[in-house]
């Protein structure tokens, strides 16, 4: 099947993992993450799910139910992290920060993905980013010429001190293809949009890339693969020179350049606000 062959090709060409690896796969409940998990399990990989419950009212309740049922039906292991329990429910964070919520939400999720993979001894962390996600993100990074992000963008990131190895085995497949896979395989997924997604920049950039694809089929994969082979090595070399030294966070041990990492600082801010509200 086309879908399986594209995943096999991505895994093989980028040496993402082998059947000896312990894979932790992030499961949001959406089509991409569930398709990825099902396909890896189907190909015989040792894969466990990780769901981060964002604490966004009905949206997160439904996402968690879908993921739990999916793993139960498949007989697969699942780890659930509740942001509300760690004081970082996304609606609370949104009320407290001035930055766009999606960038903070992404940062918190990446923190828990990495921490869980390292704490629990997984050898690699897999996410369901597809070609539309990757091409849209590349466009955003190139529009800003953000050399740090451009050097980091790719279907694999090797493990290094404090960071688990990360892979994106769906990077050759479009959103339409993952949705079709779920439909054909009877995978029920979360179709509701996050209430905070409206107006997010990544949706607009994905649409831009899609219009280009419609006019000129093959543009998305050509743009992304071209970047990987012809441009990324140059950005990697550039960033190696400017490589900032990271040290363990004083509170949680996560690598950071700032003494205490962003997530611990955020937790502190929210805890401080809760105390203030209590006494005011
Ligand atoms: S749309 Fe934004 S806030 Fe909602 S889950 Fe995605 S990143 Fe988080």
pLDDT one-digit tens code per residue, 32-68: 999 999 999 999 999 999 999 999 999 999 999 999 9
Using CA positions, which residue lies closest to atom 2 of ligand 1? 102
pLDDT at 200: 64
Kindly tell me if the per-residue pLDDT of 213 is higher than 90.
Answer: yes
The whole-angstrom separation of Cα 243 and Cα 199 is: 33
pLDDT at 201: 64
Radius of gyration of the chain (CA): 19
Parallel/antiparallel/unpaired status of strands 156-157 and 165-167: antiparallel
pLDDT band for position 275 (50/70/90)? low
Distances (CA, A) of 146 to 6, 138, 152, 187, 200: 29, 10, 10, 37, 19
Q: From 102, 198, 204, give the residue whose CB has the most ligand 1 atoms within 8 Å, as the site to mutate.
A: 102
pLDDT at 205: 87
Using CA positions, which residue lies closest to atom 3 of ligand 1? 102
Average pLDDT (79-103) is 94
Residues flanking ligand 1, CB < 6 Å: 54, 90, 101-102, 105-106, 194, 196-197, 200
pTM of the model: 0.92
Q: From 88, 90, 96, 107, give the residue whose CB has the most ligand 1 atoms within 8 Å, as the site to mutate.
A: 90
pLDDT at 221: 96
pLDDT band for position 238 (50/70/90)? confident
């Amino acid at each position: 099947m086309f879908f399986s062959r594209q995943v096999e090709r991505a895994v093989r060409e980028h040496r993402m993992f082998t059947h000896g690896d312990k894979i932790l796969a992030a499961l949001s409940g959406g089509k991409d993450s569930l398709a990825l998990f099902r396909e890896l399990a189907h190909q015989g990989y040792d894969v466990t799910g990780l769901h981060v419950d964002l604490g966004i009212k009905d949206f997160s309740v439904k996402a968690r139910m879908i993921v739990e049922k999916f793993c139960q039906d498949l007989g697969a292991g699942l780890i659930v992290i509740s942001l509300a329990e760690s004081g970082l429910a996304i609606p609370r964070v949104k009320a407290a920060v001035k930055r766009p919520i999606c960038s903070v939400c992404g940062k918190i999720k990446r923190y828990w993905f990495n921490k869980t993979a390292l704490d629990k001894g997984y050898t690699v962390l897999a996410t369901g980013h597809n070609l539309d996600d990757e091409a849209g993100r590349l466009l955003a990074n190139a529009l800003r010429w953000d050399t740090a992000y451009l050097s980091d963008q790719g279907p694999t990131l090797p493990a290094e001190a404090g960071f688990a190895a990360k892979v994106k085995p769906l990077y050759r497949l479009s959103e339409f293809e993952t949705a079709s896979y779920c439909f054909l395989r009877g995978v029920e997924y979360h179709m509701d949009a996050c209430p905070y997604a409206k107006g997010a920049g990544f949706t607009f950039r994905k649409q831009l890339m899609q219009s280009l694809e419609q006019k000129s089929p093959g543009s998305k994969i050509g743009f992304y693969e071209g970047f990987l082979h012809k441009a990324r090595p140059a950005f990697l070399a550039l960033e190696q020179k400017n490589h900032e030294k990271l040290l363990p966070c004083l509170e949680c041990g996560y690598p950071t350049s700032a003494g205490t990492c962003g997530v611990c600082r955020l937790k502190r801010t929210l805890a401080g606000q809760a105390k203030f509200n209590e006494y005011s």
